[in-house]
Amino acid sequence: MKLTRRLALTVPVIAGAVAAAMWWRAASRAEGVALDERLAAPLAAPKGPMAVFHIGHSLVNRDMPAMLAQLAGEGHRYELQLGWGTTLKAHWGDDTINGFDIENANPRFRAAHEAVGSGEYDAIVLTEMVEIRDALRYFDSPVYLARWAEKALAARPDVRIYLYETWHQLDDSEGWLERLDADLQRYWLDGIAKPALAKLPASAQLRIIPAGQVLAAFVREVEARGGVGNVTQRTDLFARNPDGSQDQIHLNDLGNYLVALVHYAVLHHRSPVGLPYAMRRGDGTVADAPAQETARMMQETVLAVIRRLPITGVSI
């Protein structure tokens, strides 16, 4: 009798726990679908020139935003705050920004809190440090993306927040292309963007600048063809160290041009095909230019990738 009584009491408890677990899973799936839909909702194209503020590190650098300004043309305004391998947490002020004085010793620097809180910018472009796995594990990436977004929205409710998807070391043990294929979903979307978006009001406009995806698509095409113009392999997009050895993560002028095209297309909702490709660096010196056929394929690749990724908010 005691055993029967005990079972009679236990079964409803177990059934209740199972039902609660099933409800929680269903609610989580529903929330995930809703967040996916928010990230994929198209945005209206901007009506004119844009003011853009960049927060990041050496994968933003001073040259890429300068190239973006040249592509965007008259009326484009930009400022930035950079560091070395800097996290969103450090930019917020809750950690040290390594290289701050060196990276921001230029006329485009503006203190990030002042800039984001000013309401003067149409778009705020943020990125997280890499290794992205470490950023998620140790530096609360979605928390600080949400904080920056909340600050920007408080100053200007219609501001557009962009998370700039970057990349990792060329010599990554998992494979450079393989990680680019996997990391967008597992880290940039599921790890950072969606948890941050869940903390923001329904009107918040958070989208992705998929530079890593464009790099992967362009490299695959180049290497499948055996080269296009003055790019024959992935390393032709990356810098060299002072001793001549291969830099495993930082872009050269050609790579920066490609990433600037991605920013242009996403921010301005315009095709990059036909844009100029003779650029100047952030310091005004002449950048190494892609060959004409290389530039054309870069532009076409950007357009193709953006058209298949609604997380950019772009319909072109």
Distance separating the N- and C-terminal Cα atoms of the chain: 72
Three-state SS at 77:
strand
Q: Is the pLDDT of residue 298 over 80?
A: yes
Radius of gyration of the chain measured on its C-alpha atoms: 22
Domains and CATH numbers, the chain: 41-312 (3.40.50.1110)
Three-state SS at 83:
coil
What amino acid occupies position 101? D
- The torsion angles phi and psi of 55, rounded to 5 degrees, stand at -125, 120
Q: What are the counts of helices (DSSP H) followed by strands (DSSP E) for the chain?
A: 12, 7
CB atoms within 10 A of CB 201: 10
Give residue-wise pLDDT tens across range 211-263. Answer: 999 999 999 999 999 999 999 999 999 999 999 999 999 999 999 999 999 99
At 26 the pLDDT is 40
Alpha carbons 275 and 71: distance in angstroms, whole number? 7
Phi-psi category of 205—alpha, beta or left, where left has phi over 0 and alpha has psi -120 to 50?
A: beta
- Name the burial class of residue 266, with classes exposed (0-12), middle (13-18) and buried (19+) by CB atoms within 10 angstroms of its CB: buried
Give residue-wise pLDDT tens across range 173-193. Answer: 999 999 999 999 999 999 999
At 177 the pLDDT is 98
- State the pTM of this model: 0.91
Work out whether the CA dihedral 266, 267, 270, 276 comes out positive or negative: negative
What amino acid occupies position 64? M
CB atoms within 10 A of CB 133: 14
At 33 the pLDDT is 87
Give residue-wise pLDDT tens across range 142-174. Answer: 999 999 999 999 999 999 999 999 999 999 999
Give residue-wise pLDDT tens across range 34-93. Answer: 999 999 999 999 999 999 999 999 999 999 999 999 999 999 999 999 999 999 999 999
Alpha carbons 34 and 128: distance in angstroms, whole number? 24
